[in-house]
Amino acid sequence: MSTTSQELDKVTILFAGDSGDGIQLTGSQFSNTAALYGNDLSTFPDFPAEIRAPIGTVAGVSGFQINFGSTDIYTPGDDCDVLVVMNAAALKKNLVRLKPRGSVVLNVAGFDRRNLNLAGYGEDVNPLTDGTLDDLNVVQMDVTKLTRDCLKETDLSMKEKDRSKNMFVLGFVYWMYNRKLDATIHFIENKFIKYPNIAESNVKVLKAGYAFGETSETFSNRFEVRPAQMPAGNYRNIMGNQATAIGIISAGRQSGLDIFYGGYPITPASDILHELSKHKNFGVRTFQAEDEIAGICSAIGASFGGHLGVTASSGPGIALKTEAMGLAMMLELPLVIVNVQRGGPSTGLPTKTEQSDLLQAVYGRNGEAPIPVLAARTPSDCFFTVYEACRIAVEHMTPVFFMSDGYLANGAEPWRYPSADDLGPISPVFATPVEGEEFMPYRRDEKLVRDWPIPGTPGLEHRIGGLEKEDVSGNVSYDPDNHEHMVQTRQAKVDKIADSIPLQEIDNGLPAGKVLVIGWGSTFGAIKTAVKELIAEGYEVGHAHLRYIQPMPKNIGEIIGNYDKVLIPEMNNGQLIKLIREKFLVDAIPLNKIKGMPFAASEIKNKIAEIYGS
């Protein structure tokens, strides 16, 4: 049987298997190869919270979805074209995600009676034989046996041989999409540089998987997905947490400040600490503190000392840092607080994504304690947004919240990376002593920002603290009028940041029309895809995506006025919508999804269509 080649605009593949099957590695390797080839892409890793959940069960299934194409890609895709499964549980969990007449590549060895039982298929039920997979394009391979056969000449143990199974599948999928193996071979050789026999066997299995595609007669189609027409420039692949770390380092360099990061490990924020700790030669000091509170308090201490203090966490850790955020706000010191949001409340869903900490960021402190809040929209946008958060922290002498989430943190996309010269300035203003004048630590400029006094400077000795302070002098004050004045001043200082941020743009669609979709954070891709498709179908819709949530750009009210209706999709129970309703008294319509999963573009599209004519 001869193979034919078919050209496609875009393809969504979902790799799924046991959490010990190396699925994340397989997916990220495929992503890197696709990126290097020039496809646009978006990925969505989805894994259990347990490091090794019970083997073979649905709870233990790890997934990695990639959407890649020759056209613009904004999301990891709704349903998938190809489902690659290593065992029965992976099929059981993900079959609903496969498009009608889609393809399934499956490891038959993962469908023995034991695996079927573990997956929860009843006795005598076997999806391979009961018609479940009829109408689908199914490729069955005994990956386990093929891998072992391939390595039978080596002296590796059976366990070690079986660890290469994922490379067989990856090789096969590379064949399906006519991809080169170079990048992955290079990766394997580097990763196992100290274990050449392991490197060799993995490469061997990868090549065997590719060859299996060529020689077996199970699959008649290969697919061609050409490079995307992306703007000219230099590209790399990047994940959100990595972009966040690099953005922080860049801000340190451009502001002339060393970075101090105080943090405590927590999913899904830990990779920021890991990445930063590799770059000490940029003047980055990382401090793995004893707890979340010490993480932020040490960062406050570093900022008091003239460095840029940064801390990162996720919901439960952010809750612990709350009191210290109030202190930083009261002291008026620069501080960047990164919240990589995950499913809540309490411990919630540590490895799943959600946007349910927005009101915590905006309001979650005792007393009147306004803190600017910014949110990234895509993995690479984490770079620009955290850079901007650092700028505001330094130039406005305030703690700033930078909001990411699990989906951005672990998702990847091609990034047209900037050169260092493209980055805007960040200009700290340090206090200097004035001959014959007593230093006043809370004297402000026209932006209501105080200068930054650094210990070690003669003549600027001063005391600051969390108690209410007298205007200008900073001395402790219980005066009622002074307190009200200071509360208003600190609010006005945050409000004035709106003078230095760009006006909101319509990210997509028409500048006026029937429905405006307002989003924030990682819903960007799904909203953009939905709005683009509706515009093509003749709908009058627009999409404004907020990067600045507190304070908001000054023209949001004006934009809202240009549409008949406002829809606000969020991965929470309605949080931005409360801010928009309160601020603009508009009867915005919510669309909420709280499933630990990003929106499918179709869900947003359907909702827009539903409210469009009603």
Partner 1 sequence: MTTEKISTPLTANDFKTDQDVRWCPGCGDYSILKQVQSVMPDIGVEREDMVFISGIGCSSRFPYYMNTYGMHSIHGRATAVASGLKAVRPELSVWIITGDGDSLSIGGNHLIHLLRRNFDVNILLFNNEIYGLTKGQYSPTSELGKRTKSTPLGSVDHPFNPLALSMGADSTFVARSLDRDPIHLREILKAANNHKGTSLIEIYQNCNVFNDGAFSLFTDKKTKLENTMMLEEGAPLIFGENRDKGVKLDGYKPVLVDLNDPHVSENDLWIHNSKDRTLADILVRFFDDPNVEGNFPRPFGIFYQEDRFTYEEALNTQLQEHIESAGTGDLSELLKGGNTWTIT
Q: Which of residues 509-538 bind partner 1 (CB under 8 A)?
A: none
Rule CB under 8 A: say whether 456 interacts with partner 1.
yes
Rule CB under 8 A: say whether 613 interacts with partner 1.
no
Binding mask 588-607 for partner 1 (x = CB under 8 A): --------------------
- CB of 545 within 8 A of CB of 507? yes
- CB of 533 within 8 A of CB of 484? no
Applying the rule CB under 8 A, the residues between 322 and 341 that interact with partner 1 are 323-324, 326-327, 331
- If the CB atoms of residues 41 and 577 are measured against partner 1, the closer one turns out to be 41
Rule CB under 8 A: say whether 419 interacts with partner 1.
yes
Choose, by CB under 8 A, the member of 156, 299, 409, 591 that binds partner 1: 299
Least CB distance from residue 468 to partner 1, whole Å? 12
- If the CB atoms of residues 132 and 288 are measured against partner 1, the closer one turns out to be 288
- If the CB atoms of residues 389 and 518 are measured against partner 1, the closer one turns out to be 389
* Alpha carbon distance 550, 143 (integer Å): 52
Rule CB under 8 A: say whether 433 interacts with partner 1.
yes
Task: Tell me the window of 114-122, 206-214, 428-436, 485-493 that interacts with partner 1 (CB under 8 A).
Answer: 428-436
Choose, by CB under 8 A, the member of 230, 319, 498, 597 that binds partner 1: 230
C-alpha 209: how far from chain center:
32
Rule CB under 8 A: say whether 434 interacts with partner 1.
yes
- If the CB atoms of residues 129 and 281 are measured against partner 1, the closer one turns out to be 281
Least CB distance from residue 287 to partner 1, whole Å? 6
User: Is 122 exposed, middle or buried (CB count within 10 Å of its CB: 0-12, 13-18, 19+)?
Assistant: exposed
Residue 488: CB partners within 8 Å, gap ≥ 6?
none
Omega within 30 of 0 (cis) for the link into 268: yes
Rule CB under 8 A: say whether 309 interacts with partner 1.
yes
Residue 597: CB partners within 8 Å, gap ≥ 6?
46, 352, 353
Sequence-separated contacts (24+) of 296-300 with Cβ below 8 Å: 296/262, 296/321, 296/324, 296/325, 296/328, 296/335, 296/337, 297/262, 297/324, 297/327, 298/260, 298/262, 299/260, 299/261, 299/262, 299/335, 300/324, 300/327, 300/328, 300/331, 300/333, 300/335
Least CB distance from residue 305 to partner 1, whole Å? 4
Choose, by CB under 8 A, the member of 192, 223, 304, 584 that binds partner 1: 304
3-state secondary structure 527-550: HHHHHHHHHHCCCCEEEEEECEEE
Choose, by CB under 8 A, the member of 231, 425, 480, 613 that binds partner 1: 231
Least CB distance from residue 458 to partner 1, whole Å? 4
Choose, by CB under 8 A, the member of 463, 478, 587, 614 that binds partner 1: 463
User: Is 283 exposed, middle or buried (CB count within 10 Å of its CB: 0-12, 13-18, 19+)?
Assistant: middle
Applying the rule CB under 8 A, the residues between 385 and 404 that interact with partner 1 are none
Backbone angles phi, psi at 588, to 5 degrees: -65, 150
* Alpha carbon distance 522, 539 (integer Å): 24
* Residue whose structure tokens are 């008091």: 304
* Alpha carbon distance 517, 522 (integer Å): 14
Least CB distance from residue 234 to partner 1, whole Å? 5
How does DSSP assign 287-343, residue by residue? EE-SSHHHHHHHHHHHHHTTSEEEEEE-HHHHHHHHHHHHHHHHHT--EEEEEEE-B
Binding mask 241-260 for partner 1 (x = CB under 8 A): -----x--xx--x----x-x
Rule CB under 8 A: say whether 462 interacts with partner 1.
yes
Omega within 30 of 0 (cis) for the link into 345: yes
Task: Tell me the window of 73-81, 395-403, 436-444, 495-503 that interacts with partner 1 (CB under 8 A).
Answer: 436-444
- If the CB atoms of residues 84 and 245 are measured against partner 1, the closer one turns out to be 245
How do beta strands 40-46 and 4-7 pair?
A: unpaired
- If the CB atoms of residues 126 and 475 are measured against partner 1, the closer one turns out to be 475
What are the tokens at 208? 């065997």
Number of residues engaging partner 1 in binding (CB under 8 A): 76
Rule CB under 8 A: say whether 448 interacts with partner 1.
no
Least CB distance from residue 233 to partner 1, whole Å? 6
Rule CB under 8 A: say whether 459 interacts with partner 1.
yes
Task: Tell me the window of 75-83, 107-115, 302-310, 515-523 that interacts with partner 1 (CB under 8 A).
Answer: 302-310
Choose, by CB under 8 A, the member of 297, 336, 340, 591 that binds partner 1: 297
Least CB distance from residue 445 to partner 1, whole Å? 21
Rule CB under 8 A: say whether 480 interacts with partner 1.
no
- If the CB atoms of residues 52 and 186 are measured against partner 1, the closer one turns out to be 186
Rule CB under 8 A: say whether 305 interacts with partner 1.
yes
Choose, by CB under 8 A, the member of 294, 362, 534, 604 that binds partner 1: 294
Least CB distance from residue 253 to partner 1, whole Å? 5
Q: What is the dihedral of CA 335, 339, 345, 346, to 10 degrees?
A: -70
Least CB distance from residue 392 to partner 1, whole Å? 20
Applying the rule CB under 8 A, the residues between 273 and 292 that interact with partner 1 are 279-283, 285, 287, 289-291
Least CB distance from residue 343 to partner 1, whole Å? 27
- Report the SS3 class of residue 351: coil
Rule CB under 8 A: say whether 62 interacts with partner 1.
no
Choose, by CB under 8 A, the member of 3, 8, 20, 38 that binds partner 1: 38
* Alpha carbon distance 36, 206 (integer Å): 18
C-alpha Rg value of the chain to the nearest Å: 27
Axis-axis angle for helices 196-215, 143-150 (nearest 10): 120
Rule CB under 8 A: say whether 35 interacts with partner 1.
yes
What are the tokens at 187? 């990766």
Applying the rule CB under 8 A, the residues between 178 and 207 that interact with partner 1 are 183
Strand order in the sheet with 513-520: 508-509, 541-546, 513-520, 563-570, 589-592
- If the CB atoms of residues 17 and 414 are measured against partner 1, the closer one turns out to be 414
Applying the rule CB under 8 A, the residues between 69 and 128 that interact with partner 1 are none
Which residues are registered as beta bridge partners of 13?
66, 82
